Amino acid sequence: MSDANRGHGLTRRALFASAAAGAFLPVIGLSPRGAQAAEAAGRHGLSVFGDLKYPADFKHFDYLNPHAPKGGSFIFSAPSWYYNQNAYTFNTLNGFTFRGDAPPRIELCFSTLMTSAADEPDSVYGLVAESVTVSEDRNRYVFALRQNVRFHDGTPLTADDVVFSFETLKEKGHPDITQSIREMVSVTATGPHEVTVVFSGRQNRKVPILVASTLPIFSRADWAGRDFEASTMVAPLGSGPYRVGNISPGRSIEYQRVEDYWGKDLPVALGSGNFDRIRVEFYQDNEVQFQAFAKGELTFREEVSSKTWATGYDFPAVRDGRVRKPTFAAERRADMYGWFFNLRRAKFADPRTRQAIGMALDFAWTNKNLFFGLYVRATSFFEFSDFAASGPPDADELALLEPFRAQLPAEAFGPAVMPPEADGSGRDRKLLRQAATLLAEAGWQRHGNELVNTAGERLTLEFLIQSQAFERVLSPLIENLKAIGIPSSMRMVDAAQYQSRKNAFDFDIMAHRIMFDATPIDGIEQIFGSVSADLPSGSNLAGLKHPVVDALVARAANVQNRAELVTLMRGLDRVLRSLHIWFPAWLSEAHRVAVWDKFGWPETKPDYGFSPEMTWWQDPERAAAIGKAG
């Protein structure tokens, strides 16, 4: 069974809703609006809360190998869960608008003003921008651009291109982008190589970092006369370490290393982007994809099926050592994976109904009999991070939540809500009786073998899925639901219909996973806030609208240090768990990776990122030994 939406690329909502794999720039407190804008000296990097790890004269990131050889190829398959999008195909090369599905890693073709360090939770360092000067009120950022930056056609990247890119994305970008940067009020070219970005003063600490380290820079001349919002299979002109190479529409895309990439010797890039070719293959069927890896047509695979991981890796290349299964720890970033109820539907209005449905899952039985014991049960919306609440709230958490006591369930003030522990029999009769009691309290009464409300409406449930892998997991759950009077079914649809129904919120319940970044100040509004509950294609999948959640999310803009953020997020976690807007699924504590033994990788894996296609390299001797040197 899939363990989720851990992807290899950053596009659209992945950047701006889950803010995946990155650390971000700073706004260490806002002075009163109208304060004199005394300028701080130009800085090589910025951090949300604390000091930078790397000094101005640093040589390279510690998790990269500056002596890594260049050459070879990295070939992997688009994950079937790629950012909850249509992963089986792509129909545009512009991944930053509402229309179309872009392939993973298209962002490798573009540069940003600054870039994150994957071994720090919230720091960025200069890329296109050599330095940045920040006003005293933290509302104005002046970026000094390097003068040697070039697009792939050799034309210079100027301040005018930055202005065009940022203004275009704010006006015409995907809704998750426009929502995230709405407090960016102006972008001005104050010189050929100087850009001034001004914010409203209402922005949270992360917004300037999103602008600096995630907004791609396009060429104004390249887009002249073209519709930015239209799907296109013409690769936009970029200035990143890779350019689009061979394409087989809907089947594969290849990125070619730019040998004269302008930034290749910068400290932030040294040791990265080592492969001459990065190719992404698309498969409609996971078994066909697996066989392609077994034959060596793919050279990297992150396994999402516990059954395949436990029983499938016995083909000849594994037995003779040509294929390895190295272990890499999961990131120290908040991870959320569960089955979300569509709160827009009246039948899920009562939290007791939602809680009862979740009690029908016997995870202990499922993990033992279907998952080969390879998973742990998720409990928190921010699993694997310091933001996950545990036990009773401490004094700071209580102080945060106490003003909202009248608006919250009592559960929010006790030990953090945990999913019930079933007895492992597959049908825990005690839990099912408790679930039946909750349903009765919520107003559902038995009518034959089913439940109805006072209006005579039946309680039914449909799980929307796009993979047969879910069938073996959901079947015993559905049987348990039927036992307590809830006729339930699975509706499996193709990837395009799945995405369409998700965008239109046309479902009862569906699985959803997001891995947050290490300082999730900004994305939580898009995922949990009322402002995005009814936004088509938005990230608030459940449609949650709750005043306390909104109030807590709003406070994220004003936290002054990481300790305050931890308290805030733990409080938010307690509230969300008490509302029963989901029942949590399962997660893996490590990346389950299989590789053809042709790669080298750094000794140290960074805590906040995993991008082997950018940080690994091809070892010439090992590649030659297994016939993969080409």
Can you say whether the dihedral through the CA atoms of 313, 314, 316, 318 is positive or negative? positive
Which segments of 493-593 does DSSP mark as H helices, in order?
495-503, 523-528, 547-555, 562-579
Dist CA 351 CA 451 (whole Å): 16
Q: Are 521 and 115 in contact (CB under 8 A)?
A: no
| Residues of the chain under the 70 pLDDT cut | 1-41, 79-88
3-state secondary structure string across 297-310:
CCCEEECCCHHHHH
492: tokens are 């499996």
Lookup result for tokens 């979740």? 358
What residue ranges define each of the domains in the chain, with the CATH number in brackets? 1-329+589-630 (3.40.190.10), 335-587 (3.10.105.10)
What's residue 44's pLDDT? 95
The pLDDT of residue 5: 33
Q: Kindly report, residue by residue over 510-541, the tens digit of the pLDDT.
A: 999 998 988 988 779 889 999 999 988 888 99
pLDDT value for 176: 77
pLDDT computed for residue 159 by the predictor: 98
Name every residue whose Cβ is closer than 8 Å to that of residue 28 and which is 6 or more positions away in sequence.
48, 49, 138, 205, 560
CB 49 within 8 A of CB 561: yes
Q: Which two tokens stand for residue 589?
A: 């504590």
Give the residue from 318, 322, 317 showing the smallest Cα distance to 626: 322
The tokens for 343 are 């709160």
Which residue in this structure is represented by tokens 């029908």? 360
Q: pLDDT at position 9, please?
A: 31
pLDDT for 471 = 93
Question: What is the structure's pLDDT at 39?
Answer: 56
Task: Give the C-alpha distances (Å, rounded to integers) separating 30 from 179, 181, 524.
Answer: 20, 17, 20
Sign of CA dihedral 260, 264, 265, 270: negative
Q: Which residues pair with 569 in a beta bridge?
A: none
User: CB burial class (10 A; 0-12, 13-18, 19+) of residue 112?
Assistant: buried
What pLDDT, on a 0 to 100 scale, did the predictor assign at position 79? 61
Length of the chain: 630
* Distances 521 to 3, 387, 609 between C-alpha atoms, Å: 25, 12, 18
**Pairing relation of β-strands 586-587 and 509-515?**
unpaired
Sort strands 488-492 and 461-465 into parallel, antiparallel or unpaired: parallel
For residues 486 and 357, is the Cβ–Cβ distance under 8 A? Answer: yes
Amino acid identity of residue 502, one-letter, is K
In contact, 579 and 335? CB cutoff 8 Å = no
